[in-house]
Amino acid sequence: MARALELARAAKGRTSPNPAVGAVLVRDGVVVGEGATQPGGRPHAETVALAAAGERARGATLYVTLEPCSHHGRTPPCADAVIQARVSSVHVATLDPNPLVAGEGARRLRAAGIDVTEGDGRDYARTLNEDFACWVTNRRPWVVAKLAASLDGRIATRTGESRWITGPEARAEGHRWRDRVDAILVGVNTVLTDDPELTTRLPEGERPPKHPQRLVLDTHCRTPLTARVLNSALPGRTTIVTTALAPVGRMTILKNAGAEVLLIGDYRGRVSIDSLLGALAEREVTSVLVEGGATVHGALFDAGLVDFVLAFIAPLVIGGIGAPAAVGGSGPATLAGAHRLLDPEVRSRGADTLVAGHLRRAAWPD
């Protein structure tokens, strides 16, 4: 199972909207076939492993990180393929959170006389695909709030200088997260102030980077044509998320500049976050990395829509009443209403400290 999990981890960020799955076939103590979910989500890991094994799959044991699917989607059911290959037993790390499967694949295998064991590597397998679990159960993307702040919670000085609060190790970690998600979300104020590219830059020697969709919350279409996110030479694509409050002429100008313009309903004069996440789910966006600024983070925290937090804390104090904080919005009235991490982990990233953890966990079948 350790090898299957390794294969799944290597595929992460390349399989959306499908989960990243690894599969290994073992016969007489020898690996006869292995595979992972392929880019774009198909073929599935089991299909790849079975094809590699050929006739040697008969009587073999299959180790797979997610329950074989039992429904017809864009590919035939993997459970049927496993049965037809006459595999003798299957070790499943975790059941599939997809309501269309949710244990049915395992039941189908058992009904065909195949021994099924569940649970080996469950925690890691679920952590690896919690974005998929959130998407199929909640019909919205898994939302990760990424913060980079000083010890006193500032994301810039009172004059707006913000590069760089954190060091290169922390920034590299942030780019690894960009490499695994479907979209990056920022507000137009971040574009106006920092003019980021929002591309993925990985350290030399790592796999070629994935450049997730760039989303700019821009209620009134204020994104300037000189913004780097509109540079046609950049890899990936940019979507300006706006509302009917924006001038039609500005929408047209941004479209002509090469951006997609996504019209979303407004809530109290701003883009409705709930409506946006619903629209992204329909577009098969399973994960969103929110990189700011304070207004965007505040709206998501206030709405209770953040699932996971990545907080990079730099060992410096900025101060200043006018210096912006990492999270805006209304905030809770009492400490009891504060957003507390369920399972915080603290790690060093160079001179900086990363505090990471869940605010909620995605639903998985027992």
Which residue has tokens 């210096």? 323
Q: Which helix (H) or strand (E) covers residue 188, if one does?
A: helix 188-194
Paired tokens of 350: 């160079």
CA–CA separation, 81 vs 70, rounded Å? 10
b/e string for 88-111 if b means 16 or more Cβ within 10 A? eebbbbbbbbbeebbebbbebbee
CA–CA separation, 331 vs 298, rounded Å? 7
Coil, helix or strand for 168?
A: helix
Coil, helix or strand for 13?
A: coil
6, 34, 46, 260: which one is catalytic? Answer: 46
Q: Give catalytic status of residue 46 as yes or no.
A: yes
Paired tokens of 104: 């049915």
The DSSP bridge pattern shows strands 115-118 and 260-263 to be unpaired
CB atoms within 10 A of CB 342: 10
Catalytic positions, written as ranges: 46
